[in-house]
Amino acid sequence: MAEKLEDLNLPMTVVTRIVKEALPEGVSISKEARTGLAKAASVFVLYVTSAATNIVKQKKRKALTGQDVLDAMKDIEFERFVDPLDEALEQYKLMVSAKKANSGKKKDETDEVEMIEDD
């Protein structure tokens, strides 16, 4: 668990990058506004995590899943974000499985090369 309250804040560099991508070109944001957004985003993440944790406890499980987060978003009345989050979760799962498949192929290719060299 976090030792200090500041440990729960999202990294300012990440928040700055997201904000810059969301703003139209030529629009800047003050440091004070970035700090406020970072704190608000951190509070929101903690709120969703708390709601998802409650779902996990109700289901008498120990692990929090992506589906728990989606269910929590519905519970706290942020339904309009569920579909985009679900799509992002599916894309993430595909990316992870592709990486696993690629790392397995590289290992197999390496094994084949070693086998050829041994002959």
Q: Supply the angle between the helices 66-75 and 82-118 in degrees, to the nearest 10.
A: 170
Q: What is the pLDDT of residue 4?
A: 67
Q: What is the pLDDT of residue 65?
A: 93
Using the predicted structure, report yes or no on whether residue 118 has a pLDDT greater than 70: no
Q: What is the pTM of this model?
A: 0.71
- Please give the share of the chain, as a percent, with pLDDT higher than 70: 82
Looking up tokens 């608000």 gives 40
Smallest Cα–Cα separation from 74: which of 88, 90, 93, 55? Answer: 55
Joined tokens for residue 3: 């030792």
Q: Give the residue-averaged pLDDT of 30-42.
A: 91
pLDDT band of 103, cuts 50, 70, 90: confident
Q: Give the residue-averaged pLDDT of 80-104.
A: 91
Cβ atoms of 81 and 73 closer than 8 Å: yes
